[in-house]
Amino acid sequence: MKKFILTLAIAVTTLSAFAFKGVNEKVLKSFQSDFNTAKEVVWTAGSNYYKAAFTYNEKHVFAYYSADGELLGVTRYLSPADMPMHLQTELKKDYNNYWVSDLFEVSKPEGTAYYVTLENADTKLVLKAENGSDWNYFQKVKKS
């Protein structure tokens, strides 16, 4: 009986912590199924999605879920060395006077995309590469 009460108390405490964060049970079950070895999970709720920030395979990862528990996408920050080789080569060839200030991967059921922010003294560029394609301009901003 003591084991049952202890188990129930832990379950209520855990569910209360998740309820406090506003994460519903469908989302939690999907997350646990998708990332059962995730560590240091922190939940936030958006207007029509839930975001889990966590550590997975020693990487900082962000997973986005619909209220129905559908995995919308996963993002993670990368170093330039973690990009596909053809994208690394293209950046070195075409943007050698810029430095990489931000780089992340977005993985969705439709495919994978990479976003890189490049900067020099005057300009900030955001490039995007989807599903094995080359880099394309996503956004260009003049620095002031």
Question: For the chain, which domains are there?
Answer: 2-74 (3.10.450.360), 80-142 (3.10.450)
| pTM listed for this prediction | 0.74
Edge-first strand order for the sheet with 59-65 is: 39-45, 50-56, 59-65, 71-77, 99-108, 111-119, 123-130, 136-142
Q: Any residues with CB less than 8 A from the CB of 144 and at least 6 apart, and which?
A: none
Q: What is the pLDDT of residue 96?
A: 92
Q: Quick one: CA dihedral 15, 16, 17, 19, positive or negative? A: positive
Q: What is the pLDDT of residue 135?
A: 95
The overall average pLDDT reported for the chain is 86
Residue 121: count of CB within 10 angstroms of its CB? 7
Kindly provide the b/e burial profile for residues 98-111, where b requires at least 16 CB atoms within 10 angstroms of the residue's own CB: beeeebebbeeeee
pLDDT surpasses 60 at 25: yes
Strands (E), 22-110: 39-45, 50-56, 59-65, 71-77, 99-108
> From the centroid of its chain, how far is CA 4?
37
Angstrom distance (rounded) from CA 98 to CA 92:
9
Q: What is the mean pLDDT of residues 9-31?
A: 64
DSSP β-bridge partners for residue 75: 62, 106
Quick: pLDDT tens for 47-104. Answer: 899 999 999 999 899 999 999 999 999 999 999 999 999 999 999 999 999 999 999 9
